[in-house]
Chain A
Amino acid sequence: MTSLPTPSAKKLGLVIDLDTCVGCQACATSCKEWNAQGDSGPLTDTDPQGKDVTGPWFNRIHGYEVKEQWRDDSRIVNFPRSCLHCEEPACVTVCPTGASYKRAEDGIVLINPDTCIGCKLCSWACPYGAREYDYTQGVMKKCTLCVDRIYNTNLEPEDQVPACVKACPTGARHFGDLGDVNSDVSLLVKERGGYDLLPEMGYKPTNKYLPPRARRNTEQAHIEKLPKSDGSTMEKLFLWADKLLSNKSASAAANPDDNSGKLEG
């Protein structure tokens, strides 16, 4: 079985904002297309135009309807799911060949396709369902955090982020060093109460999810309520309009500097 490196100071990962994700699937297809042409490629789909099309995806988006016990209304949550690059990933420790490994330098969990024997132990071990078996190639695959993008100096510096982060139209996906408490992602997690998935499993995921914010559907209720009509709306409007006109002429008369009565130049 495979051993883990000493935990790195640098812990690269994603922060995914469940409050902002609309479930548009841009991250899913961007991930698929980058990785299909990159080191993990070709990610072949079987039966592409047929009855049971299927293929490996490193990032899948699920939509759930959640009903909180104490509320009448439900919430629809769009939940992107990919490898969480755990601190103590069972998928690595169960690997019989050392093909699954966690990088010492940045904490990214990767698979070496040359030594992967496709035994699928890792996918049984991963409680997050993040591993994807490539039936065409007979090896296990998964999110690489776009390791072939983030250090790729052929890309513009601002494009050296995972494809899913680059793609996300709503800005719900963030990438950075979660080992650095002062990084933007760490601060975001702190501010928004970012949380681990299934912390009780003890795998210490690096990726964090930001919970949906409290809805403000009644929060602004302290705002002064508009008066209800007693059937005299038109009369009141006339008074209002009169006041509007008299205020105007009064202010124009009282203030010779008021520009609202003069032509420019």
Chain B
Amino acid sequence: MCACRCGIKVYLKDGKVTYIDGNRNHPVNKGVICGKGAAGIKQHYSPARLSKPLIRVGERGSGEFREIEWEEALRTATLWLSETRNTNPAKLAFFTGRDQSQGLTGWWASQFGTPNYAAHGGFCSVNMAAAGLYTYGGSFWEFGEPDWKHTKYFLLFGVAEDHASNPLKTGLGKLKARGAKIISINPVKTGYSAIADEWVGITPGTDGLFAGALIYCLLEAQKIDGEYLSRYTNSPWLVIENKGGADDGLILRNAAGTPLVWDPTTNATKVAMTFGSDPCLLGRFTLPDGRKVVTSFTLIAERFSSPEYSPETVAAKCGVAAETTRRIASELAHTAFNEAIELDIPWTDYLGRRHEKTIGRPIAMHAMRGISAHSNGFQTCRTIHILQIMLGTIDVPGGTRYKPPFPKSIPPNVKPAGKLGQVKPNTPLPGPPLGFVNSPEDLLVDEHGTPLRIDKAYSWDAPLSAHGMMHMVINNAAKGDPYNIDVLFMYMANMSWNSAMNVPDTLKALTSKRIDGEYVIPKIIYSDAYASEMVHYADLILPDTTYLERWDCISMLDRPISEADGPADSIRQPVVEPDRDVRPFQTVLLDLGARLGLPGMTNADSNPRYPGGYPDYIVNHERAPGLGPLAGFRGKDGTAAGRGQVNPNQLKAYIDNGCHWYQELPDNMKYYRHVNWDYLDWATFFGFLPRPDPIIHHVYSETLQKFRLSARGHGKVQPPAEHKKRIETYFDPIPFWYPPFEGTMVSETEFPMHAITQRPMAMYHSWGSQNSWLRQILGRNWLYIHKKRADKLGIKEGDWVDVISHHGRIKGQAKLLDGQNEDTVWTWNAIGKRSGAWGLSPDSPESKKGFLLNHLISDLLPEREGGYRYSNSDPITGQAAWYDLRVRVEKSADQKNESWPQFSKLKSLKKAFAK
């Protein structure tokens, strides 16, 4: 398996990797390979690779390290970690980056007993993951996919080049070949937008308004799938209208807790999701006890039929002409309702209703970073889902399909552990540190509302932060807000450079000292395969292997490689032995776990439970009886799938099968899975769902309303006064658009432009500048400015320009383009390197001409009422809002051929290796 998720074949000659090719039999890539994958040799043999464990001997950032043996490294780490675990496990912050082993790392954190764990999702895509999971039990991204085979109309929102890579490209190729229409809604016309039939050069952060305007048009014309809404969504569920009351906005339920709907034949309530006549989709009703109720859909319709969402109203803000929005809405309606498709597949819904055909409305959508990385991303993404749902397009032929294990219950039935009293010395947490809150009672806050997690995830700052908030850890820990930590332990996360918002202050945080001379963050353990900028700021370095030297699994317990047609998972097997003293991080983690005596990692006799390291764990670990990291080839004889005994030969079975397992579902279980009787049954057996209950889409989010009620003074757990207004405003159970925060808090005249980034396709999900082939393709970045705007600013191609935000200033070189939103500048991200890092020569173009926008992005928002500075994040999920950035651009006074700022040169680690 390649560095991400594609299947590869690796050819060796005399023990050296000579060629890497796409595996034709692999479900993810079916033989193709991306620009990065085919340059894997240079990744593997990179001079930037670390060779041996290091311990810091100089000051942080000095690059003064001493090489040590693994035994010393592991003993040191164990000593540091056990001191913390013996006193207060929460004083360990364990955060991982771009790895794909969260099934293991999350469990390790839980066994250690710290709630302070997350991966990089908080600055990646949690807005999309959470919006989807709280709305329809799935998500875009790698949780679902367009029905490439049947869709006729494809809306692509936001920069999507960074997720998923080959599947999306292959899918676009299929749409092109079939002549399906592709619309790209993106401020920049490069990449996938370049081949779209229509490019909508939207202003960053206004996609929710645009999607809302499409909904407005569909409501105006009643082009809505009423049957889909009434049967498969909570649109007909009755919402209590009791202004000021503790039950205002809650779903009306019977004594058993089942939602109620209004039966038009009896003119009274009846239990939802039952057999019989269809309930009212619209209307306000009075209950016999005098209470007023309204259907969910009435509230949605009222919201989006209001003039603030008309195409004419939103045109200027979105930068999209009203007639364009109206035409696209007409095309959506036409495609959904006049070009519906019928597959000859009978299926049975959750009530046992048999459908002779599978009806599809062939409109698919996909969204990524451009939606996610805004402070309004959660509600924007929910708006897009409402649009999909109103057209009846979720998991139907031609629509956006789930990939098992999705759909999940709404929200998934895992709550975050780490509540008061759950963090105890030498004790595992009672559950996983990451999960899904359903009400304020689930938050990780103390009785004063103070966050219990170092990143303030699951606190009033960001209640639904399902992926944690890695972007806040370092700066919070340095301020002791909410508390100080003892050990920061990170993996594959370049948090002192391109993964940090506000790099200069992050560097200060990493190096700031207490009065006694000790660092404020006393100990930093870091594992990486390469000499990244972060290595220089750590105290103990555990050098990792490359992806060609290790075992891995892309697990059902995490985010598997499933196809829409069925579940799939995969393994990575080592193809070469490391030629240096490095160890795979996951094996090291299990080793540390055993040394620390973590219960799951030790036997009764205190010996390691998984002496064979990660591959041992992959095969033998059971999360629940019969459920392990890999779903395929289970059981003693390897014939069981999903649930089954441990199979000691499981890895061999995977290798024999091209390193993956895939089970295609029968046709009657491929669509409408949220409400598909046979699928729900099967998914329950497989352990994907706790019960075979239908997954009714939450167009109205009662979860959000519960938070709102708490802000209004109801319920056991209420926000402190200073958070009330924010919770009340943004936890709207009906999606809505609000301007991205940074734009509202800085002067529009002073900072009139938006600044965004995108990842080059050839460096998908990586920072590949140490790769000598990829850096020939892109060895430096430029600042792209619209030609007209550049003209007005007196900027010519090749000029060096200053980009200034409320937070900082950088200098980069300009290139001019017509194909981008006029109010937006953009660049390739993570190309700029700090001089001396990544094994590059100090005068490399990456460091001398490359630059990062990160320096312009504040980790905190400007002060608000009460002086509190919130994280620069979505108020609901805590997603880092790095696309909210507002700037002005001016021609630099100093036209010296060099970017700015230039940080001091990092010392080459080669010298440390030589010692």
Contacts and interface: CB of A to CB of B under 8 A. Distances in A.
Nearest to B11: A37
A33 to B, nearest CB: 5
Interface in B205-219: 217-219
A260 B230 CA distance: 13
A259 B356 contact: yes
B783 interface: no
B775 interface: yes
Contacts of B176: 17, 19-20, 170-171
A156 interface: yes
Interface stretch (B346-354, B734-742, B746-754): B346-354
A233 B38 CA distance: 54
Given A240-B222, A263-B351, A33 B330 contact: no
A63 B190 contact: yes
Contacts of A221: 327
A24 interface: yes
B22 A166 contact: yes
Contacts of A75: 194, 819
A227 B223 CA distance: 10
B804 to A, nearest CB: 27
Interface string B765-781: 00000101111110100
Which of B172, B223, B348 gathers the greatest number of chain A CB atoms within 10 Å? B172
A55 B326 CA distance: 51
Q: Which of B37, B310, B770 has the most CB of A within 10 A?
A: B37
B760 to A, nearest CB: 8
A74 B779 contact: no
A45 B776 contact: yes
B25 to A, nearest CB: 10
Contacts of A198: none
B818 A224 contact: no
A254 interface: no
B572 to A, nearest CB: 19
A47 B47 CA distance: 12
A51 B845 CA distance: 6
A225 B327 contact: yes
A30 B818 contact: no
Given A24-B762, A32-B773, A264 B181 contact: no
Nearest to B197: A216
Contact of B33 (A167, A228, A262): A167
B841 interface: yes
A26 interface: yes
A53 B330 CA distance: 51
A169 B34 contact: yes
A22 interface: yes
Given A33-B39, A51-B841, A53-B775, A76 B31 contact: no
A148 B24 CA distance: 20
Given A29-B39, A226-B217, A234-B301, A23 B776 contact: no
Interface in B172-190: 172-174, 176-177, 181, 189-190
Contacts of B348: 264
A233 B219 contact: yes
A169 B34 CA distance: 7
B35 A25 contact: yes
Contact of A22 (B217, B280, B283, B761): B761
Contact of B762 (A25, A159, A168): A25
Nearest to B334: A223
Interface stretch (B13-21, B286-294, B363-371): B13-21
A57 interface: yes
B41 A33 contact: yes
B191 interface: yes
Contacts of A229: 220, 305, 310
B170 interface: yes
A29 B173 contact: no
A54 interface: yes
B331 interface: yes
A133 interface: no
Nearest to A51: B843
A215 B198 contact: yes
A34 to B, nearest CB: 7
Given A22-B194, A22-B761, A49 B47 contact: yes
Interface string B219-242: 111111011001000000000000
Nearest to B307: A231
B389 to A, nearest CB: 16
A227 B281 CA distance: 22
A57 B776 contact: yes
B840 A49 contact: yes
Interface in A9-47: 17, 19-26, 28-30, 32-34, 36-37, 45, 47
Contact of B331 (A167, A220, A248): A220
A209 to B, nearest CB: 15
Contacts of A21: 195
A171 B277 contact: no
A201 interface: no
Given A229-B220, A264-B352, A223 B330 contact: yes
B195 A25 contact: no
A50 B843 CA distance: 7
B840 A225 contact: no
Interface string B827-854: 0000000000001110111001000000
A26 B165 CA distance: 11
A63 B191 CA distance: 10
A249 interface: yes
A140 B903 CA distance: 41
B329 interface: yes
A76 B819 contact: yes
Nearest to B779: A53
A67 B170 contact: no
A1 interface: no
B355 interface: yes
B278 interface: yes
B282 interface: yes
B222 A237 contact: yes
B817 A228 contact: no
B703 interface: no
Contact of B330 (A29, A61, A76, A224): A224
Given A48-B772, A166-B22, A244-B281, A22 B39 contact: no
A169 B19 contact: no
Contact of A158 (B24, B33, B282, B774): B24
A186 to B, nearest CB: 17
Nearest to A218: B327
Nearest to B188: A76
Residue among B19, B36, B194 with the highest chain A CB neighbour number at 10 A: B194
A150 interface: no
Contact of B20 (A33, A172, A225): A33
A169 B169 contact: yes
A227 B39 CA distance: 53
Nearest to A37: B18
Contacts of A223: 327, 330-331, 334
B301 A25 contact: no
Contact of A169 (B173, B330, B817): B173
B225 to A, nearest CB: 10
Contact of B772 (A45, A218, A265): A45
Interface string A160-188: 00000011111110000000000000000
B192 interface: yes
B32 A169 contact: yes
Contacts of A45: 772-773, 776
Contacts of A190: none
B762 A29 contact: yes
Interface string A51-78: 1011101000101010100000111111
B302 interface: yes
Across the A-B interface, the 7 shortest Cβ-Cβ residue pairs = A25-B35, A48-B772, A170-B173, A169-B169, A217-B198, A226-B221, A29-B38
15 contacts: A24-B34, A24-B762, A32-B38, A45-B776, A51-B844, A51-B845, A65-B818, A169-B170, A215-B198, A226-B220, A228-B220, A228-B326, A233-B219, A240-B226, A241-B281
